[in-house]
Amino acid sequence: MRRTKRERQRLLKETIEENPFITDEELAEKFSVSVQTIRLDRLELSIPELRERIKHVAEKSFADKVKSLPIEEVIGEIIDIEPDQSAISIFDVKKEHVFKRNQIARGHHLFAQANSLAVAVINDELALTAKANIRFTRQVKENERVVAKAKVKGVNKAGRTIVEVNSYVGQELVFSGEFEMYRSNIAKKDGVNDENRN
């Protein structure tokens, strides 16, 4: 059954309201139209592109939860965060993130996504990466979406918070890292100064 343009646009608006993270490609498939048609529909309805929608949702929902850095400095877009517990961000790999020769993402972008998420999940004014143990488990290509999931594992003997970050494309693990985070309030709580920490 072919929908009228008005009907399609009404359903498109409802779909995006329900799931602001849906891509133009997914919408095109859902409504059996071209990606170009979806873009034109969005333009007519004044619905911003995915990146802007995610940014808007993140700023509205999470800006007050992220203390350790301005939310716009997080690499990727935060879509969920529970301070000192867990966080999730998404990063869409674009042309500017890959090697021209083979369209494989440069590793520092995946690291930056994971590292900035490890910083963001720390519920403190100051959080710095003291040490990181990382592993790239598969190459990431242009146009793939990387979902990074951070989990706070606890505090080690040195008083540093351990954050584990696993990044996925679909169900496939592409990056894993364990980040040892220095935070200012642990030092204050313990009454330990920086000289005694090393």
pLDDT by residue for the chain (198 residues), tens only, comes to 678 999 999 999 999 888 877 888 999 999 999 999 999 999 999 888 877 776 666 666 565 677 777 767 889 888 888 999 999 999 999 999 999 999 999 999 999 999 999 999 998 888 899 999 999 999 999 999 999 999 999 999 888 999 999 999 999 999 999 999 998 875 444 433 343 333
DSSP-derived secondary structure letter, 103: -
State the pLDDT at residue 112: 96
Helix spans in the chain (H): 5-18, 24-31, 35-45, 50-62, 107-120, 184-190, 194-197
Domain that holds residue 96: 65-197
55 domain residue, yes or no = no
Residues 76 and 131 in one domain: yes
Torsion of CA 140, 145, 147, 148, to 10 degrees: 50
State the pLDDT at residue 51: 72
State the pLDDT at residue 32: 92
Residues 38 and 73 in one domain: no
122 domain residue, yes or no = yes
91 domain residue, yes or no = yes
State the pLDDT at residue 189: 44
Number of domains in the chain: 2
34 domain residue, yes or no = yes
| CATH number, domain with residue 14 | 1.10.10.10
Instruction: Please write down the HEC assignment for all residues of 142-165.
Output: CCCEEEEEEEEEEECCCCCEEEEE
State the pLDDT at residue 192: 39
State the pLDDT at residue 196: 37
Integer Cα distance of 89 and 173 in angstroms: 15
Residues 27 and 70 in one domain: no
Residues 87 and 143 in one domain: yes
Integer Cα distance of 177 and 118 in angstroms: 10
The answer to whether 181 touches 133, Cβ cutoff 8 Å, is no
The answer to whether 177 touches 134, Cβ cutoff 8 Å, is yes
Residues 20 and 105 in one domain: no
Burial class of residue 61 (count of CB atoms within 10 Å of its CB; 0-12, 13-18, 19+): middle
9 domain residue, yes or no = yes
